[in-house]
Amino acid sequence: MTENATPLQIGDLILLVDSKDRRYLLTLESGKEFHSHAGFIPHNELIGGDDGIHIKSTGGMEYLAIRPTMADVVLKMPRSAQIIYPKDLGQILISADIGNQHNVLESGVGSGALSIALLRCGAKVTGYELREDFAQRAIKNVTNFYGEEIVNRYSVNLGDAYEGFSDSNFDRMVLDLPEPWKVVDHIPATLKSGGVFVAYTPSITQVSKLRQRLETDNFVMLETMEILRRTWHVEGQAVRPDHRMVAHTGFITSARFIG
């Protein structure tokens, strides 16, 4: 074992990566087995091992076992609704200026990918979600990642965001809703003056409708952007952009509310 490494323990989230870069997320449990087309790996063979250990399944497939990053978890955790991808999560945290101790309103919560990212900045997150099954899924994903104590900083209210919110005095508001313009009238009662508003929307017609509603004296510094992420193939002298990229996910619109 390398110096200072914390060995893999029961309850840890672990990412298994095979030689074809297929990735699997699991939680280590005593006596359990991870099964694939290439036989299985007993969890007990991982427990106590190094973070970054190589291990063979009974069918001879070699896997890397390593603690996942937040992005690994978000991409592999069970989904109810479509998640926001890591490339957009990163920008949303900056555009919404999420900080330690900020009171953040999030709606809807979907699978909880954005919740996990907001919480990682130290924010206190209050979610509003229409569907109870989605709210439960988000809470499960969030507590699997952070442990049960996170409920001190994370809660989800069931409700329709277009009807307004039961809490107020938020520092930041982050929306991933089909019709975010329907929330704009509720912002003065919900967000502190000087607060930051961000909405994530897949289509540009949604952006137009939202921007029209934000064109009032209450909002300043309006901005809409998209994040294009292009990875590169780097192998010896063969260095070029990868052939495939995710061409489009969504638009990020931000504004400051000035009450």
Q: Which residues bind ligand SAH (CB under 6 A)?
A: 81, 83-84, 107-108, 110-114, 128-131, 134, 160-162, 176-178
Report the nearest approach of ligand SAH to the CB of residue 97 (Å). Answer: 18
Per DSSP, the three-state class of 81 is coil
Q: Which is nearer to ligand SAH, 42 or 164 (CB)?
A: 164
Report the nearest approach of ligand SAH to the CB of residue 213 (Å). Answer: 15
Q: How far apart are CA 172 and CA 257, in angstroms?
A: 10
Q: Are strands 124-129 and 103-107 parallel, antiparallel or unpaired?
A: parallel
Place of tokens 């489009």: 248
Q: Which is nearer to ligand SAH, 79 or 211 (CB)?
A: 79
Q: Which is nearer to ligand SAH, 48 or 178 (CB)?
A: 178
Longest dimension (CA), the chain: 66
Report the nearest approach of ligand SAH to the CB of residue 154 (Å). Answer: 13
Report the nearest approach of ligand SAH to the CB of residue 71 (Å). Answer: 12
Q: Which is nearer to ligand SAH, 132 or 215 (CB)?
A: 132
- Rounded (10°) angle between helices 86-95 and 113-120: 50
Q: Which is nearer to ligand SAH, 63 or 197 (CB)?
A: 197
Q: Which alpha helices (H) appear in 96-203, and where do they start and end?
A: 113-120, 132-146
CA-CA-CA-CA dihedral for 175, 80, 21, 118, to nearest 10: 30
Nearest CA-CA partner of 199 in 220, 225, 221, 217:
225
Report the nearest approach of ligand SAH to the CB of residue 196 (Å). Answer: 17
Under DSSP, the state recorded for 112 is: S
Residue 140 CB partners (closer than 8 Å, separation 6+) = 78, 112
209, 181 Cβ separation under 8 angstroms: yes
Q: Which is nearer to ligand SAH, 128 or 251 (CB)?
A: 128
Residue 192, burial from CB neighbour count under 10 angstroms (0-12, 13-18, 19+): middle
Report the nearest approach of ligand SAH to the CB of residue 80 (Å). Answer: 6
Report the nearest approach of ligand SAH to the CB of residue 110 (Å). Answer: 2
Q: Which is nearer to ligand SAH, 12 or 176 (CB)?
A: 176
Residue 222 CB partners (closer than 8 Å, separation 6+) = 211, 214, 215, 253, 254, 255
